[in-house]
Amino acid sequence: MAGLLFVMTGSPYWTLKDGTRYPTGYWAEEFAAPYRALTEAGHRVVVATPGGVVPSLDPASLRPDMAGGAETALELEGVIRSAEELRRPIRLSEARLEDYDAVYFPGGHGPMEDLWCDADAGRLLTAALASGKPLAVVCHAPAAMLATRVRGVSPFAGYRVTAFTNDEEDAVGLAARARWLLEDELKELGVLFERGEMWQPYTVVDRNLYTGQNPASSAALAQELIKALA
């Protein structure tokens, strides 16, 4: 049995460029699909958030039209309700990489508010990348890579990475309202940005770094993690 650290946003909103607080948090599928797959495979999960706050679920992520249907939405909700780890997260500042065999960052728009500039997230990502342990990051969670910069340089520069694309952000109506766009900032960071078809599962593996483009990629990313942990 392996131990996995799920690093999650603690923010229930994302501040847009006009100052509006857009209600958000973590995306249901990006937590629930990997959590279910990994725990059913016998692995142990611990959740960490900035300050140890209980993470907020993006309410839109359980809408049937966003979750892939009413039945799927109910399944995701059931997984989330059963996950005791979500209700007792540890402080991200107290998370020790040596206690875990792999690290996973689920997305949602929340990381665009807090993890992108969280020093603890940056230190953990840097350490995990250097350790060789599997490090998985999906959708908007690669925003946390921006917190790894030291004097403008990130250890993720030169790595092949995917994440939520500008086209997908535009399709949900938020690109024009955002202070910055994730794809643009990751390219500025120096990663080799890759993309698949909009809304379809797409994952990229580069050394011990596993990234997924969008919510639909989270289940596939979990399977990559399970293979790496076998």
Residues 184/136, Cβ–Cβ less than 8 Å? no
Burial 67-92 (b: 16+ CB within 10 A, else e): beeeebbebbbebbeebebbeebbeb
Residues 4/38, Cβ–Cβ less than 8 Å? yes
Average pLDDT, whole number, for the chain? 98
Separation CA 219–CA 17 (nearest Å) = 32
Residue 74 binned pLDDT confidence (cut-offs 50, 70, 90): very high
Q: How many domains does the chain have?
A: 1
pTM, two decimals, is 0.98
At 24, which CATH number?
Answer: 3.40.50.880
Residues 63/73, Cβ–Cβ less than 8 Å? yes
- Quick one: pLDDT at residue 179? 98
Signed CA dihedral, 180, 144, 114, 147: sign only = negative
Domain range spanning residue 50? Answer: 3-229
> Average pLDDT for residues 199-212, to the nearest whole number?
98
How does strand 102-105 pair with strand 3-7? Answer: parallel
pLDDT tens per residue across span 23-33:
999 999 999 99
Which candidate, 221, 230, 228, places its Cα nearest to that of 37?
A: 221
pLDDT tens per residue across span 18-68:
999 999 999 999 999 999 999 999 999 999 999 999 999 999 999 999 999
